[in-house]
């Protein structure tokens, strides 16, 4: 998969995800941007919330558990512009028993984005020469 960010103006960039999806990232006005999209660091929290929800739902589907209107929220703590803490909250249906709840809390930590944020991925920066 290839993701490309192309500058539009100022700090705003249009991001293309593998030719299938597009979104815009930017910085807020107080950080010199035009606030035409979320900050890239905000997308980390969004990715974590979405990935956690999907991971839990996939597991529950395999078990035949009805999660109803599952909700996952992520509180992101910052030191300056850098996220330093992610707290994931799960709103689970009252009908689940204690063992089901315990299991879903464990499964929530298995989402791929959680693993990346926990330091289980390598990131390399390389220069690509223009053709």
Q: Which residues contact 11 (CB under 8 A, 6 or more apart)?
A: 26, 27, 31, 32, 33, 34
Q: Radius of gyration (Cα) for the chain, nearest Å?
A: 18
Q: What is the pLDDT of residues 61-90, one digit of tens each?
A: 999 999 998 999 999 999 988 899 999 999
Please, are residues 31 and 40 in contact by the beta-carbon 8 Å criterion? Answer: no
Q: Which helix (H) or strand (E) holds 14?
A: strand 12-17
**Mean pLDDT for the chain?**
93
| pLDDT tens digits, 39-67 | 999 999 999 999 999 999 999 999 999 99
The DSSP annotation for 36-85 comes to: SS--HHHHHHHHHHHHHHHHHHHHHHHHT----S-EEEEEEEEETTEEEE
């Amino acid at each position: 998969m290839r993701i490309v960010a192309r500058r539009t103006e100022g700090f705003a960039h249009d991001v293309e995800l593998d030719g299938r999806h597009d979104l815009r990232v930017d910085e807020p006005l107080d950080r010199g941007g035009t606030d035409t999209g979320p900050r890239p660091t905000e997308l980390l929290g969004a990715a974590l919330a979405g990935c956690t929800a999907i991971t839990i739902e996939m597991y529950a589907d395999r078990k035949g558990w009805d999660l109803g209107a599952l909700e996952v929220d992520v509180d992101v703590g910052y030191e300056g512009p850098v996220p330093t803490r992610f707290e994931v909250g799960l709103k689970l249906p009252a009908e689940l028993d204690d063992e089901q709840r315990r299991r879903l809390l464990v499964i929530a930590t298995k989402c791929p984005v959680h693993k990346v944020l926990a330091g289980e991925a390598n990131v390399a920066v390389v220069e690509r020469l223009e053709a």
